[in-house]
Chain A
Amino acid sequence: MNRPGDDVGGMGMTELPDEAIEAFFLGDAHDAWQQDEALASLADEVLMGATGPAPRPSPALRAFLGEPNAGSAVAPRPLAAPPAWRPDTMAAGPATSDRGTNVVPLFRRLRLTVGIAAAAGVAAATLAVTATTGVLPEPVMQAVSWVVEAVTPFELRDPARPVTGGDVPGRGPISTVPAGPLGNGAGTGQAGPRVVPGQLAPLTPVAGPGAPGQPSSTRPVTPRSSIPAGVPGPVHPSGPVDQGGQSPPAPFVSVVPNPPGGIAPPAGGGNATPSTTPVDRAPQAPAGSTVPSTVAGPPTRR
């Protein structure tokens, strides 16, 4: 069975040497093929059909060719386009491509700026948190404290200062607030907020609304039984504060929620100077006592 193109007639191209065939394809010896009318006609027709004008380029191709009617097509740049020496006339491309390339650096700059800002914020937050643990050197601590106090409503205690009653050993210098009057029952005039060991005093705003001139902070509390009932006191956001009479000596002082009935003022007319009593000397809270993490402000002085 013969396939298309099989030379079944016996008169093949064996008569022609390879050199003649190559000359035909390379077009170097066309005249030699005039002897073979059939093949000469084929060569003529093929070459004639491959002449003429180029077809109309598509919009995408017109962008390459620099024609004005390229529409919105953008010519991709040739791969590995070399050199910078090319004149502007050669490098000129559609305006859309230039406009598009300007957007990329803008986004890159914006992304870089956001990244730097985020990194700075994380670093600042890390430094502030580290400062609360008291592990930073004193100069750094002072600087961080100054910055925190300047830009936030919080206050970082200077580690050089004595630990107030609101500080917890091992928890670092968080606290913060001037100590309020503390009824220690001894009538010594020493007062200050107390925190049960093991409880971390939170950062609290310095200028609390508890009482004029008094920051909200930990509140010394006397036993409920010592609070005279029905004695009115100034209104406190967390509840009325009792300004009642003397409180009996308290076996220990803890930080507890402000009772609804108010709390007693410090015994012995203790003033409201910050307590310098080390926390580790504070009485231990009895087992099972519950201590809230947030406490109300101190009672107002009489």
Chain B
Amino acid sequence: MVDNEQVTPRGQRPARIGEEFSSILTAAQSGGSWAFDRLYRAFAPSVVGYLRMQGAGDPEDLTNEVFLNVFTAIGPFAGDEGQFRSWMFTIAHRRLVDERRRAGRRPQMATEEPTEQADAGGDAEDEVLRRLSVERVRRLCDRLAPDQRDVLLLRMLSAMTVEQAAEALGKSPTAVKALQRRGLAAIRRLIEREGVSL
């Protein structure tokens, strides 16, 4: 069962599957729809959150595309949950880059339209808080260099290691470390000195 962290208190990590991941992965590789459903419900919120904070034009549609790619290519995958998340976010990031290339635009602060959610009956207050958080992060990330934003969001949401992030972004681990350090410093400066609120 997915940990009951869909609505997290501040500071907690996104939902994880845990020990069941191995059996769910095996079932998904055998074509079990229930396993696909479990994986989607566990990881889709993180992916769509990442895409929203990156300023994707249609994060929900892009999330669907990401999971179609993941489920279609899941057969040969071998690894634990952390590696699965890393692989999934790598696909998400590449789909995002593709979308930006197609659109020929930089990420923008688009107003998020209310969208249908898979889980009906969600708490309205949590939904409002989530939207506000996304909006604040997007406003802040828009002030960062694109590489810094990519590194910070990928590492925070996918729990990638430095090496995994370097591979996903096509950079060296040293470059990733430098980017994350500068990105965090810039955020602190923006918040403390320039009054950008969170």
Residues in A lying within 8 Å of B, measured CB to CB: 3-9, 11-13, 16, 18, 21-22, 24-27, 30, 36-58, 60-61, 64-66, 75-83, 86, 89-93
Contact = CB atoms under 8 A, between A and B. Distances in A.
Interface string B136-164: 11001001110010000101110100100
Nearest to A54: B44
B91 interface: no
A247 to B, nearest CB: 90
Contacts of A8: 189
Interface residues of B, number: 84
Contact of A76 (B5, B72, B148): B72
Interface in B36-86: 36-37, 40-41, 44-46, 48-50, 52-53, 59-61, 63-64, 67-68, 71-76
22 contacts: A3-B145, A24-B184, A25-B156, A27-B159, A36-B188, A39-B184, A39-B187, A44-B11, A45-B198, A47-B10, A52-B127, A53-B119, A54-B45, A54-B118, A57-B67, A66-B34, A66-B36, A79-B72, A82-B75, A86-B32, A90-B30, A91-B31
Given A38-B188, A51-B14, A56-B117, A5 B183 contact: yes
Contacts of B185: 7, 11-13
A5 B182 contact: yes
A187 B117 CA distance: 111
Contact of B117 (A7, A9, A54): A54
B33 interface: yes
Given A66-B34, A82-B30, A60 B118 contact: no
Nearest to A25: B155
A85 to B, nearest CB: 8
A264 B40 CA distance: 99
Interface string B157-198: 101001000000000000001001111111111011100001
A86 to B, nearest CB: 4
A51 B32 contact: no
B60 A50 contact: no
B12 interface: yes
A158 B177 CA distance: 95
A97 B115 CA distance: 30
Contacts of B67: 57, 61, 64
Contact of B64 (A4, A12, A60, A93): A60
Given A45-B198, A54-B117, A55-B44, 4 more contacts: A12-B185, A42-B137, A52-B6, A78-B31
Contacts of B117: 52-56
B22 interface: no
Given A39-B184, A46-B156, A91-B32, A52 B126 contact: yes
B198 A38 contact: yes
Contacts of A61: 40, 64, 67-68, 71
Contact of B136 (A45, A50, A52, A81): A45
Nearest to B142: A4
A50 B27 contact: no
